Structure 1
Amino acid sequence: MISLILTGHGRIASGINEAITQVFGAQADLHVVDFPDGMGTGDLEVKLAEVLAGCAGDVVFFTDLLGGSPFRIASTLAQARPGTEVIAGMNLAMFAEMLFERDDIASAAEFRQRAIEAGQGGITSLADRLASKRQRAEAVDGL
């Protein structure tokens, strides 16, 4: 099973974990490292390194912002450990979809690719969904 590490500014990582736990229950090999106001980047690096060291096999970091401190630190750690990937721009839909696919995915690299697709696919609007539904209905009526 691919280990997952959530990290980001404030309590976004804990918030996503709380939502996942509320909907699906506690998850194995899911680790959370928040970066609250007042915590230094050195402390964040130590915590992320400790969590990563405790993971066996492939690991995927989910971070909030491309270029932010959690992303940069996770990236540095990932470059030093084969089988470790970093994703920026995590969202709940992406994470929920991928959480249950990690047993069926062979590598962190494949997981990363599929997670990005899931994240992009989960972004939509009510207007777009309704228009798509209308188009499908019109196509069926036209047959």
Structure 2
Amino acid sequence: MRDIILISHGDMAQGVKHSLEMITGKQPSVHIVSLKDDGDDKQFKQDLISTMSTISGKALIIADLLGGTPCNVALKEYVDNENVEIIAGMSLPLVVEATLNEQASTKELIGSARQSVINVKNQLEKSTQIKEQEEINLDQYAEFRGKENIVNIRIDERLIHGQVAGIWSTSLNTQRIIVINDEAAQDPLQKSSLRMAAPTSMRLSVLTIKEAVKNINSGKYGKQRLFILFKNPTDVLRFIEEGGHINRINVGNMSHKEGAREVTKSIKVTKDEEVVFKKIAEHGVDITAQLVPNDPIINFMEKLTR
């Protein structure tokens, strides 16, 4: 295991770690050393050495600023230590990648971080210009009917975001993400935003419920590893009632709404949604709750009915 030490002026390192753990869950191998407001290079050096003394094996130091005191002190102390790598230019995408991909070299991490800096408005404009595929004859996929390779089905009202794009889909070797939501499928701006959020290595389909049932049941996606995303339980129930097949579903994120109660820290449901979940379960669907893959799997219906 590679330990990661985030070093910065002030509270930047603390903030980045907090944001990281909102996406990935707790990361005990990520440490923080800060140059305090009233501190100096001596204070920082003492704190850095103290933290490094608790680490054995490989370490990656990520500094906020090239040429700043934290970076300079780290370089001076560990330039000759072959077990310690040092990168300057801290960003959340860089830290997420370093945390999730322990095998990535410093060169690969820096390249990935550079690719994460884009002109979002320009990229959105390009995405809206992508033409939709023409209607195709689904009969040609008959050999794959009933053999869809679904690696996960998840309810997440944020749809494609850090946990889905950076953790779930990659950990499951996903080849195609399918977002099933009528509103998103009929809104060019939402579809473009989802394209931007999806990993570039994966295909993306944004479909209405009827389209999704038709395409998946036809075998259109062959042997592709499919990650299916729903925005809410109502869409899941409609998908089932339209003829879609679901054996198991993972509930990830449902935010607070008026009248909702907390089932888990990330899941709040209303009375109406409780009824919908019970109807889904009546169809023989195993419903679990799990925010990120390294969290324990919770029996959602047991939690819901307590």
Please give the range of the TM-score, normalised by the shorter of the 2 chains.
Answer: 0.7 to 0.9
Name stretches of at least 5 consecutive residues in structure 2 with no aligned partner.
Answer: 135-306
CA distance in 2 between counterparts of 1:94 and 1:35 reads: 21
Aligned pair 1:118/2:118, yes or no?
Answer: no
Number of residue pairs matched by the alignment = 134
* Pairs within 5 Å for 1:32-47: 32-47=32-47
Letter in 1 for 2:108: R
* Pairs within 5 Å for 1:55-74: 55-74=55-74
Using the aligned pairs only, state the percent identity: 23
Instruction: Tell me which moved more, 8-17 or 117-126.
Output: 117-126
Aligned pair 1:54/2:54, yes or no?
Answer: yes
Corresponding residue of 2:127 = 133
CA distance in 2 between counterparts of 1:111 and 1:93 reads: 15
TM-score (norm 2): 0.41
Check the 8 A contact 1:98/1:118 in 2, yes or no: no
Corresponding residue of 1:76 = 76
CA distance in 2 between counterparts of 1:35 and 1:95 reads: 19
Deviation per residue, 1:69-124 (Å, 9 max, x gap): 0000111122132121111111011111221101xx1xxxx521121012101111
SS at match of 1:6: strand
* Pairs within 5 Å for 1:93-112: 93-102=93-102, 105=103, 111-112=105-106
Higher-strand-fraction structure: 2
CA distance in 2 between counterparts of 1:119 and 1:24 reads: 17
CA distance in 2 between counterparts of 1:125 and 1:10 reads: 28
SS at match of 1:5: strand
Deviation per residue, 1:11-66 (Å, 9 max, x gap): 00000011112222211311101112101210100111121122111111011110
Offset of 1:134 from its aligned partner?
A: 4.9
CA distance in 1 between counterparts of 2:108 and 2:37 reads: 32
CA distance in 2 between counterparts of 1:111 and 1:16 reads: 21
Which protein shows a greater Rg? 2
Name stretches of at least 5 consecutive residues in structure 1 with no aligned partner.
Answer: none
RMSD: 1.9
Letter in 2 for 1:25: G
Higher-helix-fraction structure: 1
Q: For CA contacts below 8 A with separation 6 or more, give which structure has more relative contact order.
A: 1
Offset of 1:131 from its aligned partner?
A: 4.1
